[in-house]
Structure 1
């Protein structure tokens, strides 16, 4: 969820101290913003630190604006403890503390969103079909706004990944297979099935256990999806699971899908090399 204009304004009021930004000098501010978002703001805009920050936040892509504001918020928390705890006698300290309380939940939300965005970008780098991209978009969009849909989409993402891999490798699959059977067939196709790993190899037993657990993710998500995900009608008494359960399903599905697709890509590269 992108920050609203009002939310951005809360951060700007917290950081802007009469044209200054917190306790930064011009040079240290440019160094900080360059490290955060790749832009030395004062050098770019030729304005005061406060006006340069405002200009950038107004025109930057939402994810870049969010990152810089969240990075500045972390800096504020590390360097303005007295103000946060109400121990500062500086002019305006009480007002800044009120803005801090408003900004804190927004920063927490956005920092979580940055992590998800990065994970989503990693996934989309793997898949090229528009259908797969649409699934990924729906999955990451719905995990906090509609947990029931996110749980259902997690299962669908695994299904689509496995079917794509099997089809690319000329393998057939039964449309009546369970999700667990589909994942097992995919792992066998990629020679990463736990039962086929030689436990006598270095760390072989550990790899077998990890792969076994990874394979079980599919069964767990399928079981979760049946009563709590989309795809089945629900009675009036239905109560969905919480956002944290949706995040668990999305994170687990993502881990499995990334591993399977990485193994698939590696196999393709090996065939080309030989």
Structure 2
């Protein structure tokens, strides 16, 4: 997911910050909201006004958490402040509505344009990435996820490399947890294959009598292909080879495809790993 520029971030802050307040939140409600969104009660942490605490958090937060809080606040604004940016009469007598405000309506239109471009279909992956970070008890894996998402726009080739490395790290962790030795010379395809086997996700593990057995077998058979093809995609575009003048590198859209595929695969493998652990207990 591309990061917001300073100007774009400023547009969202103008929409949210109301003279030290943030939208219509009380201090306690805002802390509850941010805790639910990113796991941090920002006013309690920074001890300043809601507006200043929000700005301080956005300056300190990793890209994943920063973008998630911005998006969650935007979703809250759209759900609760529609009267401020749209002109219409109350639907029924006594309905409370924020008065239409041309200035904030302008901020909203600008932010909506940015949100459609930046969040768009990537929003579900952002949420999944946040969940994965919470699940992994590893600062390294959390940092890999942040870096991978941040590099989608700034360095697509490296983002694809990080997507492959995330799969490798996840597979090694699962194999370690199951006391299965892995070889340092295994490529990402072999690591994924051994992990799938360990988790009993091989096509052969699905009974022919199971509902939609053939479709499930086909999907499981393609799990290893995701990681193998990520490695194959990145190799021709590495930085260690001479390039001709007509060379064209990977684009942001390629990185989004790779990152989304990596997050989906890792989430599925890790969820299966956790479920097997809970079933064993």
TM-score (normalised: structure 2): 0.67
3-state secondary structure, aligned to 1:158: helix
Aligned partner of 1:6 among 7, 10, 13: 10
Residue aligning to 1:213: 222
| C-alpha contact (below 8 Å) 2:226/2:261 kept by paired residues | yes
User: How far did 1:100 drift?
Assistant: 4.9
3-state secondary structure, aligned to 2:171: helix
Q: Is the counterpart of residue 255 in structure 1 residue 264 in structure 2?
A: yes
CA change 1:202–1:251 in 2 (3 A) is same
User: How far did 1:162 drift?
Assistant: 1.4
3-state secondary structure, aligned to 2:140: helix
Relative contact order, CA 8 A, sep 6+: which one is greater? Answer: 2
Unmatched 5+ stretches in structure 2: 35-48, 59-65, 89-99
Distance 2:71 2:218 in 1: 40
User: How far did 1:81 drift?
Assistant: 5.1
Aligned partner of 2:177 among 168, 184, 194: 168
| C-alpha contact (below 8 Å) 1:70/1:111 kept by paired residues | no
CA change 1:72–1:110 in 2 (3 A) is farther
Return the index of the structure with the highest Cα Rg: 1
| C-alpha contact (below 8 Å) 2:188/2:231 kept by paired residues | yes
Unmatched 5+ stretches in structure 1: 22-28, 40-54, 84-90
TM-score (normalised: structure 1): 0.68
After superposition, where does 1:1-274 map in structure 2 within 5 Å? 1=3, 4=6, 6-8=10-12, 10-11=14-15, 38=33, 56-60=50-54, 61-62=57-58, 63=66, 64=69, 67-73=72-78, 80=85, 93=102, 99-109=107-117, 111-112=119-120, 115-228=124-237, 230=238, 232-237=240-245, 238-271=247-280, 273=281
| C-alpha contact (below 8 Å) 1:197/1:208 kept by paired residues | yes
Query: Number of residues paired by the alignment?
Result: 237
Cα deviations by residue, 1:87-107 (Å, 9 ceiling, x for unpaired): xxxx985x6665455333333
Distance 1:146 1:224 in 2: 15
User: How far did 1:222 drift?
Assistant: 1.7
